[in-house]
């Protein structure tokens, strides 16, 4: 029996996932689904649920580590026009999950709309950014998101608004499998001033992060009141290498993948860093990246 009969045009089997991850690592997915419409997404999700197939949603893969064995699951990528739209109405923005965050920041600058410039230099999709409340020293996306349109694994669509919608440090209370779009509240501002802020943030990141390497951003969340990178640095772990994975000399909360690196190398290095920081400072480091096994 073909689970995805009449959906073959949007479903691939045994699809290699490494090409979709910034690390360039990882094995295949049993099913790789690229719906073109909401209706196709609903139907594919329903069939996965009925057949007990786990569902993963793939954004831009910028904070993702996929196991070398891949995943026994369906991976859904929302990259069709339907899912990459952005609509502006006065100071309100509706951004769909597949829209590219970095492009959206620049579009807002051009339109003289302030609110998301703090997300400068954060790669990824709007959906991924909302899911993990992406941000940094300059602010996070949750500060400007007013509501989200969501879909569960059975194809039911609903909305969640503040205050029911809660953003915390690198997390939200969104449990629905799919984020369809987010409604964002912006404010009119001088485009020149917004661009100056964008440039300042970009220069800060360029000076402090290993941007020209194969990495997937910060590996660990910052424990309350302290920087994970500082703890790793103080533990003397900059430059620590296991296989093809190395703790960055520039920013200790980044792990760089060299040629020949495997996901297992990265995982073993993560475990080693956690163990050493726990030993020295009695602090349990929690992952900021997503790991698919």
CATH of domain 210-292: 3.90.78.10
For the chain, which residues make up each domain, given as ranges? 8-81, 84-207, 210-292
Rg (CA), the chain: 20
Q: What gap in Å lies between CA 273 and CA 251, rounded to an integer?
A: 14
**Pairing between β-strand 135-136 and β-strand 167-168 as defined by DSSP bridges:** unpaired
Q: How far is CA 118 from the centre of its chain?
A: 16
- Alpha-carbon torsion (89, 95, 101, 102), positive or negative: negative
CATH architecture for the domain at 84-207: 2-Layer Sandwich (3.30)
Per-residue pLDDT of the chain (293 residues; tens, 9 = 90+): 689 999 999 999 999 999 999 999 999 999 999 999 999 999 999 999 999 999 999 999 999 999 999 999 999 999 999 999 999 999 999 999 999 999 999 999 999 999 999 999 999 999 999 999 999 888 999 999 999 999 999 999 999 999 999 999 999 999 999 999 999 999 999 999 999 999 999 999 999 999 899 999 999 999 999 999 999 999 999 999 999 999 999 999 999 999 999 999 999 999 999 999 999 999 999 999 999 99
Q: What gap in Å lies between CA 229 and CA 17, rounded to an integer?
A: 28
Same fold, 84-207 and 210-292: no
Residue 192's CB: how many other CB atoms inside 10 A? 9
Residue 105: its H or E element: helix 101-110
CATH topology of domain 8-81: 3.30.43
Q: What gap in Å lies between CA 286 and CA 293, rounded to an integer?
A: 17
As given in the structure block, the two tokens for residue 256 are: 């760089």
């Amino acid at each position: 029996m073909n689970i995805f009969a009449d959906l073959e045009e949007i479903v691939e089997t045994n699809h290699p996932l490494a090409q979709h991850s910034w690390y360039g690592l990882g094995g295949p997915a049993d099913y790789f689904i690229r719906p073109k419409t909401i209706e196709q997404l609903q139907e594919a999700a329903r069939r996965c649920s009925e057949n007990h197939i786990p569902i993963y949603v793939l954004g831009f893969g910028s904070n993702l580590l996929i196991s070398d064995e891949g995943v026994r699951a369906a991976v859904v990528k929302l990259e069709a026009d339907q899912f990459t739209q952005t609509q502006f109405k006065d100071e309100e923005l509706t951004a769909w999950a597949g829209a590219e965050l970095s492009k959206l920041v620049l579009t807002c600058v051009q339109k003289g709309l302030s609110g998301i410039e703090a997300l400068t230099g954060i790669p990824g999709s709007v959906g991924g950014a909302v899911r993990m409340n992406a941000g940094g020293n300059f602010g996070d996306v949750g500060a400007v998101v007013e509501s989200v349109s969501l879909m569960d694994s059975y194809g039911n669509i609903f909305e969640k608004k503040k205050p029911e919608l809660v953003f915390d440090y690198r997390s939200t209370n969104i449990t629905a499998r799919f984020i369809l779009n987010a409604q964002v509240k912006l404010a009119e501002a001088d485009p020149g001033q917004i661009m100056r802020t964008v440039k300042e943030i970009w220069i800060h990141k360029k000076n402090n992060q290993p941007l020209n390497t194969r990495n997937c951003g910060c590996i660990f969340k910052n424990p309350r009141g302290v920087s994970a990178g500082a703890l790793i640095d103080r533990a003397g772990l900059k430059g620590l290498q296991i296989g093809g994975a190395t703790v960055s000399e520039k920013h200790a909360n980044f792990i760089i993948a060299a040629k020949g690196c495997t996901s297992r190398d990265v995982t073993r290095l993560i475990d080693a860093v956690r163990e050493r920081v726990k030993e020295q400072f009695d602090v349990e480091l929690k992952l900021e990246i997503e790991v698919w096994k």
